[in-house]
A and B are shown apart, each in its own frame.
Chain A
Amino acid sequence: MTTTETQSDRVVRPTPSRDTWNVFTRELRPVVRDPFTLIFSLVQPLVFLGLFAPLLIGSSGAPASETLQWFVPGVLVMIVLFGTGAVGSNLQYEMMTGSHERTLVAPLARSSLLVGRALKEIAPIVVQALLIVLIAWPFGFTIHWGGLVLGLALLAVFGVGLGSLSYSLALATKDREWLFWGVQQTLIFPLLILSGMLLPLEQGPGWMRAVSTVNPVNWVVQAERALFAGDLGSMTVLWGWLAALALAAVGLAVGIRAIRRSN
């Protein structure tokens, strides 16, 4: 049957890379149009840096530079955790208002709807991370440029995985916002505390240390610390990358499945 084959030469086929780029640029447009949203999203990490780091420095007794070297990589992971962990709510809003449905009818690769969105969340996070590093610099934080670049790349991979899981949660909870936030908050704080991001786990009880070994966020935090210390070749970095890649693979698999079944 050759019904409309004459048309098909001008008709688009789903292409994951191009579709991801198109979803990414679409999602980024409101941020570019209104950059003020970016400025406000900087406040939270600055609060932690300004109000929490001094307490940490005071209680540890170690020099400020040493504490910052330990603390700043954790704050960067925290931005990603809070930033990409919440992105599902944007999708949930689009599902409720209707524009998500329109994108499902468009000839887009289903994966692009997730990856494009998650990458959009990463772009501003990279800007935030650079700013925080620069702010911590005069207080004795040492920057290893190679480690910084690899560290940001690791954050991006981790963020895509976490973002995809957040979108999956949105697709599963549909219009029940209370359920999305309930699950999200229930998960995010244990993940945060059991990663040793804010306070070292070494002084915690044995069971906490045991649980933290299965927390991928913990592996990512440790890898970031190693990278920012310039220790690029250590096993810790390798484990961090494996944890982030595994999270991204699981997140994308679950997310693409969820988006296919979202109707």
Chain B
Amino acid sequence: MTNDTMIDAEGLTKRFTVKKKTVEAVTDLSFTVSRGELVAFLGPNGAGKSTSLRMLTTLVPPSSGRARVVGHDIHREAAAVRARIGYVGQLTSGSFAQRVRDELISQGAFYGMPASAAKVRADELVESLDLTPFATRTVQQLSGGQKRRLDIALGLMHAPPLLFLDEPSTGLDPQSRSNLWQHILDLRQQHGTTVFLTTHYLEEADRYAERVMVMDRGRLIADDTAANLKAKLAGDVVTLGFASAEEAERAVGVVQGLTDREVRREGEASVTLAAPEGDALLPAAVRALDAVGLRVDRATAVPPTLDDVFLALTGRTLREAHETGGGDDEEQATENLTTENPQPTGAER
């Protein structure tokens, strides 16, 4: 572990007992994050993202495995870890009865800041997160986007070198989302803060994160840049359309001669394949088909999305995974256990 390692996790595992059955929410999670990285933890609901984050932020102890966060052991030196990280949870960090500026100043005091420094810092954050008109309002009176910006401000109050964000943009309208992201990106640029966040928005991970860790059913199944993941695991989707089904059938054989990826029939008179550098493959395919007298009517090469990556990794799309709650009901129940809002079950009454 070097001076620049912010997170070093080894074999982190978390088991819960749900209805007398043991469920593993996170299995054998190992990875490192270096100073200054922006890492997105991507996966469907119930994949174990939040549980992982909660272990790293000392909120839940791991069942086995260990991790050092900003140089300190999450279990033996929990207080030292807490003093060095910022955490923005899934819910609202500010107490509803408190005023915005008051809550920031209290947060500063919690982290040992002298009152005068806390006031200066609170005003600075209120200003930079566009909360100035709401500084004396109570948290309850804020809109969803304003609440979320306050959450970020609270997480940044003590200028932590490492910031954890659990689904920072969930539930926000598109404008608030991009606004929030701008704040996160500015922050990194100005202070070099390491940012580790979870999201189930593909577009966000794709657009903003330099490194994407994909999680499914409690396991880390991929870890790379979005571009590499897409190139290695998915590739551009090339589709060629013909005048008849018969022509399309013949075209499959011709195009297959140009690539080692599987070429398939699609619809009535089209063929499709997913391949890296599909934009280069497309004109080559058109020429080859022309040479044997097959005329291409329509052609597209669509760059892949992270959803294609997820499909390639798990055999299902992220959207399908959301609908089934990350696999099955038990995993869903596990994820519920890790939030502050476990669903009451019938047996409790």
Contact = CB atoms under 8 A, between A and B. Distances in A.
A259 interface: no
Nearest to A37: B97
A105 B102 CA distance: 19
Contacts of A98: 89-93, 340
- Main secondary structure on A side of the interface with B: helix
B87 interface: yes
A263 B161 contact: no
Contact of B59 (A33, A94, A99, A105): A105
Contacts of B85: 105
Contacts of A41: none
B98 A4 contact: no
B154 A102 contact: yes
A230 to B, nearest CB: 40
Contacts of B72: 4
A263 B110 contact: no
Contacts of A33: 99, 102
A4 B57 contact: no
A36 to B, nearest CB: 13
B57 A105 contact: yes
A95 B341 CA distance: 8
A3 B71 contact: yes
Nearest to B343: A175
A4 B70 contact: yes
Contacts, number: 115
Contact of B79 (A7, A13, A25, A95): A13
B340 A95 contact: yes
A30 B103 CA distance: 10
B54 A263 contact: yes
A175 B111 contact: no
A26 B109 contact: yes
Interface in A1-38: 1, 3-5, 7-8, 11-14, 19, 22, 25-26, 29-30, 33
Contacts of B346: none
Interface string B320-334: 000000000000000
B84 interface: yes
B71 A99 contact: no
Nearest to A102: B93
Interface string B57-78: 1111000000010111000000
A47 B90 CA distance: 43
29 contacts: A3-B3, A3-B5, A4-B3, A4-B70, A4-B71, A4-B72, A4-B84, A4-B161, A12-B112, A13-B79, A14-B79, A22-B109, A22-B110, A25-B106, A26-B102, A29-B102, A30-B138, A95-B340, A97-B91, A97-B96, A101-B59, A102-B87, A102-B93, A105-B82, A105-B89, A106-B107, A107-B83, A174-B340, A174-B341
Task: List 4 tightest A-B contacts by C-beta distance, closest first.
Answer: A98-B91, A12-B112, A3-B71, A26-B106
Interface of B: 1, 3, 5, 54, 57-60, 68, 70-72, 79-80, 82-85, 87, 89-99, 102-103, 106-107, 109-112, 138, 154, 161, 338, 340-342, 344, 348
Interface of A: 1, 3-5, 7-8, 11-14, 19, 22, 25-26, 29-30, 33, 93-108, 174-176, 263
